[in-house]
Every structure is written in structure tokens, then in C-alpha cells.
A and B are shown apart, each in its own frame.
Chain A
Amino acid sequence: MRPVLKLLKQRILQVRPQLPSFPGRAARADDPAVFSFNEQRASVMDSVTRRIVSRYRTREPQELLYLLSDAANTEVRRLSSQKDAEAELEISAWRKLLRGNGRMSHDERVAALERICARMSGDVAGNFDPRVYGIALRIVPGLLTGVMSPGTFPRELVQPGWPQLDALIRVEGPVERLRRLARLGTLILVPTHSSNLDSVALGYVLAREGLPPVVYGAGKNLFTNPIISFFMHNLGAYRVDRRVQARLYKEVLKGYSFEIIRRGYHSLFFPGGTRSRSNMVERHVKLGLAGTAVSAFTENQLDGAPRPVFFVPITINYPLVLEAETLIDDYLKGAGQSRYIITDDEFSQVDRMVAFLKKVLVLRNGAVIRFAEPLDPFCNPVDELGRSLSPSGRAIDPGTYVQQGGRPVADELRDMGYTRELGELLPSVYRRETVILWTHLVAHVLYRYLVLRTPGRDLFTRQRVRDASMRRDRLDREVGLAQAKLIELEQSDRVRLGRAIRSEPPSRLVDEALEAWSGYHSKPIAVAEGDSVRMLDPNLLLFYQNRIVHLADDLATPETVKAARIIAAMGEGA
């Protein structure tokens, strides 16, 4: 990008856009808590700082010494490699702290901690403007549809309701119950993560389904687009700068999350931490933010103001993933050390975005968002009335989980134990609630054939095989067998299927997949050629089949059982 533009962009990012203060809508009693977030913003930030400061004030002075020196060291390292105006400004302060830290008294360090925390939490904290929310609801779908079919733009903009977009995102799950739960307690939405479109699609669906807006931590890189940034800032998103490695910064982020959940703001975070590079359903989740929800629950119990917390696992399922190429490249390149931040993917390229949306529109099937059964912080299912249910179906008081001798007791280690249990449960919920779509199925059958044809090769040499082809009649037959097996698995409640897999004949599924795979990605993944299907891009086949890699054993036929085992093992090792 040219320097002038870059500077301009930085300027834009530094101002916090706000709507002019004309009289807004009058507050209503049933507004979600987040509507009055801005009034509490200062107090939230203040609580974050106060909690961290009081924690370190009373601990061993050494701990604070280390915390500050860790913050100063990591920030100096980061800023000196960043080399921009922002860095210049900040780096000297950190250097000064680094020099003085050892000589400072405990009280001086506490004062420094307070300053740093206040700044960090100011940088993190979001805003919520109900007017922007209202505008977003009306305009964003229109904009999206407009982008997708420019000819209809003006008409679509003035029409209420967005039939095209509505048709593109299908919602499944206990939505009515979630609407009730949102009034009874605090929702913590924990979706799978495969695309930057996830938060946009989910945000749209929440509004469409009458679910309240949520607060969520968005990577700072999502704020680089000024328009998106404007909406993010005013829709409760807080900023997470993944470049900042300081432990203290992570404490501030967690503190912020704790504070907003404690105050009853519905929240969203992606337990996978980052988009799934391989497209496998998350097998490991990060527990930091889930932990803040458990702690917030306990805190409210201790305060004598119990407020239920409901975790809502969600799977977001795409037949095509916008950033598929970048993600799978990163996965294969990194093999375990993937880049945590990708800034130059398809999400930032407008032409790719438009091509994607057009493709999706033609397919008339953009995404399936599936809400799973809500859970309390202790992995119990929750009923219509927000009551936690035991395995025998009896309502139990979630407060008992933080009690000892009949009253609530603070115990950080215990709450961490509960968090780990949640962390173990979520991946199995994700696997069960992932909606399997025709592209996943066809990719799996093709890829399994590729593995069968390349015995003894390792992943990387196999991915370099070009132009393998599979006879179309065999492909159709194996897709049919796998489809039948999937239908059987769905009946025993182990998987969820998209509508096409349930009802369409195998040859149709193959046709649809081949159609979907041509025209959006930079080259077709597989093409029909005579009576065969030629595989042109093994990487993307791997990517799409990875969504059901955990079912490879179940879907195997006697002929393909060995290949299936190799594939299944890839999923287990990841």
C-alpha cells in the first residue's frame, strides 16, 4: 500500500467514529443490557484495572517485577520490529520502564501497573451504539445483497427483508429456547471458526432470529477496513491485538471478558482461537475466555446476585470457504506452527469477496448455522426455564458447583477444573453438531481414492500428485455408500446432515460439488473429463474432506478401509 494511504488509514483508525448526538431512540425495558453499555464503559475499564492491581498489590513483589519486565520486554521487541509512527511513540516509555523496573519500589511498580492497565483496557474496550445497531440491521444485508447483484441494489435497499440473503444462511437448533434463555441469564456463544465471515454471518443471524447482540473480541486486523471498523466499534466488539504477547495484556483481555460477563452482557468468542487452518472441526480449544465465564458465574454467586450463564456451542458450516486456499496452504506449510495472524487473505481482497458471494448466491446455499443444546458452566444441559439438568433429568442448582459446606466459596483452581471439563466437552459437541454438506462428502470420497492410489506416500508427497483421476461411476457408487452410512449415523444422533445429502441422489451430489468447485477458487478442484473425474487440486480436496476426517473409519468400505485409516489417523494426529 502507498505510504500516503497507509498514513490516512492509520489516522482513520485513531479516531473513534461516533454518530452525531441527535436524540436517539428511547430506551425500553426489554432492551438487551448491551444497549446501555456505553454508560458503563468507564466503570468496566475501571474494574478491570482495579482487579488486576489489587491482585498484584498483595502478591509477592517479585511477581509484579516479572510481570512488568515481561510486558516491557515483549513490547520493546514487538515495537522495534514494527517500525512505524505508533511504535516510535510507545517504545521509549517501555524502554524507560525496562531500565527503571529493577530499582522501583513495590508501590512505584503498582502505580506503573495501574497506568499500563488503564491504557491497555482503554485500547481493548468497545462501544455500543443502539442507533448503529439499528442502522446495521437495515443496511448490512442490503449492502451484502447489493454487492452480490449490483443491478438490484437500490430496490433491495428500500425493501424491508432480504429474501436472497435469508435464503443463503439457514439456521438450525433450539432458537426459541435461546431467546428465552437470553432473558434469564447471560449467553456465551462459542462457535466453530473457519472464516472471517463467521462473525458477520453470525451477527446477522442473531438479529434475524430475534436473538440479542453480543459482545466479542475481534482481531485488530479486522479493524483495518474503516467501514467494518466503524460497525465493530459501535456494536460492542472489543479489540484484540494478537501481536501483543505480554502476559499482562492477556490478563487485561481476560479481565475485560470477566467484567462484561459478570455484568450480564451476552458474549461471543471462538474457542478454536483462530480459523481452523486444516478445516478440521476443532479438536482442541483455548480455555482462557471460557474460564472468565466460569469465574464470572462464581463471582456473582459470591456476591449473592446469582445469574445463570449459558454456553451455546454453535457450528458454522460452509460448502465453500472464502479463505480456503490461504488456510490450507498455511496448514501444509506450517505443520503445527501456522501463522496466528494472516492479514493478506481473501477476506481483505474485495474482488475475491465479491466472487465468493456471487458463487454462493448461484449455489443458493451459503451456510448453515447450527445452534447446539445450551449448557451451564458445568457441562449440564439447560431446559426451557434455564434450569440445569442432571443426567437423570432432575433440575439442579448450578450454584452447588461452587459450594462447599453449603455456601459459595471462591476457588480459582476449582473453576479452572470446570473450565477444562468444558474444554473437553466442546470438541465432541462440535463433531456431533457439524452439518455435513455435499462438498465435504464428495471431497472425502475423492481424497480417499487418491490415498488408495498413492500407497506408502506421506502427506506432503501425496499433496504433490497432480491429475489423479477416478472413474465417475465408481465415484458415484462410493458417494452413495458413504451417503447411506451418513444417513444411518444421523439416525443414531452422531452426525447432522445438510438437506442435499439427505435427499439428493449421489450423482447429483457429485455434479453439485464439481459445479461449486469451479469458478470461485483460483482453479477448479476437480473436473469431469470423459467418464472420469480428474483431481486438479489435492490441497483443497484435503481441505474440504477434513471437515469429516473424524468419520473416515465409519465411512470406509471394505476396499477403502486402509486408506480410510490413514485419513482417520491424520485427523487424530492433528
Chain B
Amino acid sequence: MSGPVSILGGGDFGWALADAARRSGREVIVWTRRAQEQAREGVTVTETLADAAAADLVFFAVPSPYVGAVARELGAHLDGSHRLVHISRGVVADKHTPRTLTQVLRETTPCRRIGALAGPIVARALAEGDASAGVVGSRFPEIVEAVRDVFAVQRLDVFGTDDVLGVELASTMVSLLSMAIGYGLASGLGPATLAMVATRGMNEAARIGEGLGARAETFHGLAGLGDLLAAFAGDGRPELEVGRLFAAGVTPAEVDKQVGARIEGLRTARWIAKYAAHTGARLPVLQILADVFRGRLRAEQALDALMAQEVS
């Protein structure tokens, strides 16, 4: 398979993907609302969403809140032969249960061959050709293959799992935990404390996942812990910066304004709080983080609250 590839979203990640696909010899269509004059050889830039339907492999590299609207509009031009992959860390909160973006894509388009790409892949690493790995969650092994083909000449291993929900939830939780790391670093928490927060937080995330039908092991793989380790190693992802802003006392509303809709962690914090309240699940670390990022707890209070918890 070496047909054209469409990429929706002209952000850093979108363009990094476009370059990677280009290097693998694929024709690339990039759809973006801001039509820049970024003409590159072999890349067609368009403002017309319908143009993206010319490729049968379409990457969604738009922020999660926009995935639904973009998918609905594009969906009118797609059929069962199109394959969709999204790269967003995020879910759409639907009352107290999360709706994942693969679910959104399924409901808004006629497509069924859908996947989620996750793991410690950031735009800069892709662009610089760092060796790295990602994981594709899909019911359809051919989607894993298709993503692998796109990164054929990249030093990037693509693994596959059919635990789609696990991949999407893990990746969403990583966004929140990455913010916690940025926050902790800026508040002067030591490595051991951060490691505790990360590990226990990921365990709780895995428990939520299992409750919703995902597999715990997915949270401890590339999509979860693996991704989080890259944040620890300082891969420069925006969530770290958000955490720092919070630690500096910037209010949630301002953070949202400054960094924009790109940060899924804030929304994640909100639905975790709702989810815990509804199900009565014991999620001490995640709930404390949720409170911090909703502006209800300060760092010292958070730490006290954390240490006052019985270890479960």
C-alpha cells in the first residue's frame, strides 16, 4: 500500500507526520484551517476538507474537542474503504463516562477501520528522527500495518494492540500525569515523590480502565508508563509547561487561555472527578490531581492530602 495519506491539522505534530510520510515516499495531503504558504514538495496543502477524502488513510491531528466537528464534515465524503487514525491525547467527557475519540469517529463517519496512535512520540522527536516507538490501538490489524508503512523509513517501531480503549485512556491519563510532573518539578518536589505520584496515578488509571473494559497491562506499556517516562526525561511536551504555570499560581482559566485547547489534561481532571463521584471508585492520587488542576488545592495541601491517604 503506498497510496496518498491525508493529515488533518497543521500543528507541529501534523507537519511532523506529513514529513515522515513524505520521507516514506508517500504523497501527502495536509488539511488546515490556516492555509499557510508552506509549500513542500509532494505535499498538497488544502483548506477544503473534502480533498482529504482522496486518500484512504487519514490521520486526525487536531485537538480532541474539534475531532467530532471535523469528522462530521469530512464524514460526508468518506465510505467504508477509508481508514482513520487519530493521535489526540484525550477523551470527550459524556456525563460521567468518557467517550473516546475512536468512538466519536465511529459515530460521525461511516468508517469502521479506525485506530488510535499513542506512545512517546512527540513532534520534535519525529522531525529530528530520534529512535522511538509508538503503539496503535485498533480492532483492525491492517491499521497497524498502515501506520507502520507511513513510518517505514523512520526509526520508529510501531506496535499494535486491540485494546483500543486502553490505549486511548492511558494516553489521556498521561496528559494529566505529565502536567503533574511539570507541576511537581516547579514546586520543588523530589524525584522519589514524583515517581510515587506517577506510579500510583498510573495504577489508578489502570483501575479506571479495567472498570470500563480496558486491560491494565496497556497502561503499563508504551501508551501509558512508556509515554510518561518520556515526559520525565523532559521531551518538551506542552503539558509540562502547563504544570509549571499552575505551580507559578496562574489560574486555570488563564492557563486555558494561554495554552489553548491543546491541553487535554484539564478536561481529564474534570471527568475524573465526575467519574469518581459517580462510581464511588477510590482514586486518591488522581482525585487530588484533579483538585489541583481545578484550582481547589495548593501544592503543599496536595502533598499533605496525598500522604494522609492509606496506601491501597
Residues of chain A at the chain B interface (Cβ within 8 Å): 378-380, 388, 390-392, 394, 396-406, 411, 413-414, 417-418, 420-421
Contact = CB atoms under 8 A, between A and B. Distances in A.
A391 B142 contact: no
17 contacts: A378-B112, A388-B110, A390-B79, A390-B109, A391-B107, A391-B110, A394-B110, A397-B80, A400-B79, A400-B81, A401-B80, A404-B56, A405-B1, A405-B3, A406-B81, A417-B140, A421-B112
B90 interface: no
B72 interface: yes
Nearest to B110: A390
A414 B80 contact: no
Residue of B3, B107, B109, B141 with most partner-chain A CB within 10 A: B141
A404 B1 contact: yes
B79 A397 contact: yes
Contacts of A388: 110
Given A420-B139, A421-B112, A392 B75 contact: yes
B5 to A, nearest CB: 14
B76 A392 contact: yes
B108 interface: yes
A379 B106 CA distance: 10
Contacts of A406: 81
Interface string B124-147: 000000000000001111100000
A382 B268 CA distance: 36
Given A392-B72, A414-B140, A421-B112, 11 more contacts: A380-B110, A388-B110, A391-B108, A392-B76, A396-B79, A400-B80, A404-B1, A404-B56, A414-B113, A414-B141, A414-B142
A308 to B, nearest CB: 13
Nearest to B71: A391
B114 to A, nearest CB: 10
B283 to A, nearest CB: 17
Given A401-B81, A403-B81, A406-B81, A396 B139 contact: no
A413 B141 contact: yes
A421 B139 contact: yes
Interface string B159-185: 000000000000000000000000000
Contacts of A379: 112
Interface residues of B, number: 22
B297 to A, nearest CB: 28
Contacts of B142: 404, 411, 413-414
Contacts of B141: 413-414, 417
A377 to B, nearest CB: 10
A378 to B, nearest CB: 5
Interface in B79-112: 79-81, 106-110, 112
Contacts of A403: 80-81
A406 B56 CA distance: 10
Contacts of A398: 80
Given A379-B112, A380-B110, A417-B113, A391 B140 contact: no
Nearest to B141: A413
Contact of A396 (B56, B80, B113): B80
A401 B140 CA distance: 12
B75 A391 contact: yes
A91 B105 CA distance: 54
Contacts of A391: 72, 75, 107-110
Contacts of B72: 391-392
A361 B106 CA distance: 45
A101 to B, nearest CB: 32
B140 A413 contact: yes
Contacts of A420: 139
Nearest to B109: A391
A413 B113 CA distance: 11
A417 B106 CA distance: 13
A402 B79 CA distance: 11
A420 B75 CA distance: 22
A378 B80 contact: yes
Interface in B48-72: 56, 72
A401 B76 contact: no
A83 to B, nearest CB: 43
Contacts of A396: 79-80, 110
A166 B80 CA distance: 42
Contacts of A401: 80-81, 112-113
B26 to A, nearest CB: 14
Nearest to B3: A405
Contacts of A411: 142
Interface in B1-55: 1, 3
A390 B1 CA distance: 26
A339 to B, nearest CB: 27
A276 to B, nearest CB: 20
Contacts of A421: 106, 112, 139
Nearest to A379: B112
A363 B23 CA distance: 73
Nearest to A394: B76
Contacts of B75: 390-392
Contacts of B78: 390
A417 B139 CA distance: 5
Contacts of A392: 72, 75-76
A418 B75 CA distance: 19
A232 B106 CA distance: 40
B83 to A, nearest CB: 9
Contacts of A405: 1, 3, 56
A390 B72 CA distance: 11
A370 to B, nearest CB: 23
A403 B112 CA distance: 12
B215 to A, nearest CB: 15
Contacts of B76: 390, 392, 394
Nearest to A417: B139
A411 B56 CA distance: 17
Contacts of B81: 400-401, 403-404, 406
A306 B72 CA distance: 29
Nearest to A392: B76
Nearest to B82: A400
A420 B81 CA distance: 18
